[in-house]
């Protein structure tokens, strides 16, 4: 892949890793630890990633062990690549286990350096909240999970904190909001029942602000939409891929893993590249041109 343009923040957007503390298979069919490792290996050669984001359902069981497994793998990857790391809880996460290992989710700062946190106790009823500055962008994580529920909601307290954050110190290149339940329609009846309940309230806070992009997950499939004129990008799941063409009132998913590489330019322009992990048994290579052949095609057919 081409390197990011100068001044652009390149984000590796992962979602729905659904790791288990005991290595149990997700839905009885997918080794999510192996799926995560294959995604990370796939993106190892993508240049210039400055921020890694996990937009919720980090864990399947909420156990500290599952978060430690994520931290080891994604944190290790981010450190090696000199990238910041930010995570937010989803409906499968448990705030207690999440906080125990990932604190407020802002784990690594710019350059992959650990973020220092004061140990502060929050009961699980209090949404996880975090913000940090990475490459001149304000990164805000908004916890849309509702304890005991699958649907999402931005609480009044979180809306107020977001409003305050956006009205606060000027971020030179705007804000990136990370949340689990995207403020977009859902592809199936099941996901519709589990969708974000108050997207209008979020839209009211985002409208006219310096938010450049909203990154979400939850639907286990890539979608692009907008909220109050701001792009909303839903990352494909690491755990599986929702069958969006199936019957609306049924639910199925394929074994498949993906991610987004999101470039956020200095002027706020956003460019997203969806990735999936090919499986050698099911995804044969269509073609490959070596660099010399590519150069000759460019010489013959490119603009001179």
- Binding residues for Fe ion, rule: CB under 5 A, are 16, 57
The distance from CA 264 to its chain's CA centroid, rounded to whole angstroms, is 14
Nearest residue to the partner Fe ion, using Cβ: 57
Q: Whose Cβ is closer to Fe ion: residue 17's or residue 175's?
A: 17
Q: Whose Cβ is closer to Fe ion: residue 23's or residue 208's?
A: 23
Q: How far is the CB of 304 from Fe ion (least distance, A)?
A: 49
Q: How far is the CB of 218 from Fe ion (least distance, A)?
A: 6
Query: CA 178 to CA 51: how far, in whole Å?
Result: 12
Q: How far is the CB of 163 from Fe ion (least distance, A)?
A: 28
Q: Whose Cβ is closer to Fe ion: residue 10's or residue 92's?
A: 92
Q: How far is the CB of 185 from Fe ion (least distance, A)?
A: 17
Q: Whose Cβ is closer to Fe ion: residue 14's or residue 202's?
A: 14
Q: Whose Cβ is closer to Fe ion: residue 161's or residue 220's?
A: 220
């Amino acid at each position: 892949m081409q390197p990011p343009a100068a001044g652009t923040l390149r984000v590796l957007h992962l979602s729905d890793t659904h790791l288990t503390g005991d290595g149990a298979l997700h839905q009885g069919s997918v080794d999510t630890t192996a799926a995560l490792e294959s995604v990370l290996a796939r993106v190892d050669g993508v240049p210039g990633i400055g921020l890694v984001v996990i937009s919720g359902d980090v864990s399947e069981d909420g156990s500290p062990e599952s978060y430690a497994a994520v931290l080891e793998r994604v944190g290790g990857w981010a450190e090696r690549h000199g990238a910041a790391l930010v995570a937010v809880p989803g409906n499968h996460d448990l705030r207690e286990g999440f906080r125990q290992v990932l604190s407020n989710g802002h784990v690594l700062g710019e350059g992959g350096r650990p973020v220092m946190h004061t140990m502060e106790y929050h009961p699980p009823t209090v949404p996880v909240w975090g913000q940090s500055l990475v490459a001149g962008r304000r990164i805000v994580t908004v916890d849309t999970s509702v304890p005991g529920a699958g649907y999402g909601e931005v609480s009044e307290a979180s809306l107020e904190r977001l409003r305050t954050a956006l009205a606060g110190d000027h971020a030179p290149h705007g804000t990136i909001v990370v949340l689990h339940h995207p403020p977009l329609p859902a592809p199936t009846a099941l996901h519709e029942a589990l969708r974000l309940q108050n997207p209008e309230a979020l839209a009211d806070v985002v409208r006219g602000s310096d938010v450049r992009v909203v990154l979400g997950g939850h639907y286990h499939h890539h979608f692009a939409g907008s909220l109050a004129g701001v792009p909303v990008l839903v990352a494909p799941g690491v755990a599986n891929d929702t069958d969006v063409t199936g019957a609306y009132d049924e639910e199925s998913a394929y074994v498949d893993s993906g991610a987004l590489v999101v470039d956020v330019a200095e002027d706020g322009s956003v460019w997203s590249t969806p990735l999936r992990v090919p499986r050698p048994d099911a995804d044969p290579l269509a073609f490959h041109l070596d660099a010399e052949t590519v150069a000759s095609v460019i010489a013959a057919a490119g603009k001179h």
